[in-house]
Structure 1
Amino acid sequence: MERIPLIVSTDWLEQRLDDPKLRIVDATTFMDIPENGGPPSVESGRASYDEGHIPGAVYADLLNELSDPESSLPFMAPPHDHFVKKMTELGIGDGTYTVIYDQGALVENPVVAAYWASRLAWQMQYEGYDNIAILDGGLPKWKEEGRPLTAVPGNYSPAVFTGQRRPELIATKEDVQQAMDDDNVILINSLSPEDFRGETDTYPRKGHIPSSVNVFFGIHGDQQTKKVYEDSILREPFEKVGALDPDKKVITYCGGGIAATWNALLLNKLGQKNVAVYDGSMNEWASDPSCPLVTGN
């Protein structure tokens, strides 16, 4: 099967809606960040999916079905067999290709909301799935262009999947501790500059992991067109921190391993294949007093 691009356009997807090998997945999750600080609240996007989605799409519940039920941290990757069981029940497996979208978790800038779609894409890659794409602009762009919607639930036949987990795509707390003193590893904090500098109260402790650099996940798209920037623009912030050096390993992190997957996917798009996501991210790191944090730039 022909390998599809990592990011596809709304035109590209609409032309393939009748392809029996296509699987469309709505990965919408909603996050509300309190104006006065404190941890964000998160809720499933299933009700939003039920109201209207791209024809054929099935809903993947990242919050309730595709996170580790045994973990004290939210959105941690579940065991391989658990994830594969859920995916194959949705009809995703060998001989299919998948386009993932979400409905816009950040209302003020829907294009950067693709990080929910990229979270599912990263989980699929981690568990051995290939041929996965993100829909550029997600459902907000699809709706804006007047493309078809339905409230009829998607229903693909159960699939078989034979891929293997790729442990090199995930980083643990111990990996990050070692990376702080390793010049061959670039640690990227994917949060806002304010979070990076320690000016917010979102996490148990303020600041960023020592030696990490800041590439905010929200700078990679055009708010007017809802499209991801061309590669020439995408490259600039990553090149500035040395993350596109093929001889380096990159570890991305954020608050809970969600936004970090958006930076990781774009690094892959730009040719950097040696990228891992710190799944626990600041939720785990800032909760452990033995893990150092620094403030400022």
Structure 2
Amino acid sequence: MSSGSIVVFGSLNMDIVSVVSRLPRRGETVPGSEFYTTPGGKGANQAVACARLGASVQMVGRVGGDNFGRELINSLESDSIGISGIDVVNTGKTGVAMISVDDSGENTIVAVYGANMSFSSDIESRLETALADASVLLLQNEIPIHANVVASRIASALGITVIWDPAPSVDGVSELSGLSTYLTPNQIEAEALSGIEINDIDSAMKACDIILTRYDSIPVITLGEKGVVYASREKRKHVPAMDISVIDTVAAGDAFTGALAVAIAEGLKVDESIRFAVGYGALAVGKKGAQASMGSRKELDDFLKNQAAPET
């Protein structure tokens, strides 16, 4: 892998999607207008985002020995993502995510992680091989926390930047403390990490300060239409969202985190990296699907040219 390369250690799921006019209430059945399957999983989504933005990417993860697993591997290969770090568990089942998307683009997700949760003692050697020439490691919470801890320690010892997307919220997050360079929670995850309710930009900034102190990582909190807030030891800042018609919010966070990784790997400053990522996340919500919504570098460059110049 070349300089600026990215390793994604995380989940590979097949998304099973239903499109509905509105999300059902508890105990309610609603008719759907469309059904489809598409490659997903937070890890794989972020890997695809990185690859389509021009990065050299290696995926490390697990799938079952079934049709879904084969489809997911083939899909990654089609985006020129390295797959030598993917282990096929012949007796296991590939992870799946059952997603409902409504007319406004909002969604609910139930995930059954399958092989993603069955990492064994060979994790360390596979990660060391993948990380040998990497500059950024991307992590999420759809694999066991202890596996992420092992990965972070290896990466930190090698001087590699670690971006940890703490999604979904899980027990054991205290083990993250001091092990990542950046944390990229959404509003709900930031509330869980900080212990406070976020209802505006000011409270989001307070959550940033708490997370920075508690986890010794730079928090970058995504707030949907309210944009992004982040805090380092030197500064705190709010970056507004970019205008676009929302079609589907599935994987918008993955698009954001993948783009952030690419920008950091390319050596952009934090402010520039976050604007780059905000733009890519905006592009993703303007399209349907998870990996299908991940645009090209040219699309992002053209989109950013048409946005207002960032505040200095």
- TM-score after normalising by structure 2: 0.28
More helix, by proportion: 2
More strand, by proportion: 2
- TM-score after normalising by structure 1: 0.29
